[in-house]
Amino acid sequence: MDTGRKAALLRLLAEKSFRTSETRLSAGATSDYYIDCRTTTLTAEGGRLTGLLILDLLREKQLSPHAVGGLTLGADPVISNVVAASAWLAAGTPGATLIDGFLVRKEQKVHGAGRRIEGFCEPDAPVVIVDDACTSGASIVTAICAAREAGMCIIGVVCLVEREEANGRFAVEGAVQGAPFHHIFSASEVRETYLSLREK
């Protein structure tokens, strides 16, 4: 993984996405810090780095998905940036592999085509589930279940920041049934960078 890109994205997450304050998490527990990765992944540079680093990780781990996808809303900018980065890197390279994307709705659409998954959806295709953060793992597990119900083959899970909650990792690893679960950063790495920047 490109260390320069990784250091730059870690700094952006610390500057834009990390705050020390008591916060109620989606699972109901409280925490003394909050990470909103979207304030980074929705910036031009943060998004670019996110897409490139996830592609770096997929290459390192020898994962070759046809698509990446996840539960709307946190996963949306991650997916879009990975898809765009794959196209950018493939430009002018004959035979280069492109990675498509798909979004999983929280509930099945009740009008129109009635789809739960928007975008790429091909039975038996290898896919990787992505998300911006993993706390309880509920969003990732929901996306795993929806992709599997659609007949896709999940070959891995990647989150940008893992909050290192034991129950979250346990839930994801149980749902993904043997496929690897990776993160780009741990929450402690983001916290340490945030604190070091505050000391300067």
Structure tokens at 76: 């949306």
Burial of residue 163 (CB within 10 Å: 0-12, 13-18, 19+) is: buried
CA-atom Rg of the chain in angstroms:
17
Query: 3-state class of 191 per DSSP?
Result: helix
The domain spans of the chain are: 3-199
Fold that domain 3-199 belongs to in CATH: Rossmann fold (3.40.50)
The pLDDT score that the predictor gives to residue 109 is 62
pLDDT tens for each residue of 77-115 = 999 999 999 999 998 788 778 999 999 998 766 555 668
Pick from 142, 154, 152, 146: which is nearest to 122 by CA? 152
Q: Report the predicted TM-score, pTM, of the whole model to 2 decimal places.
A: 0.93
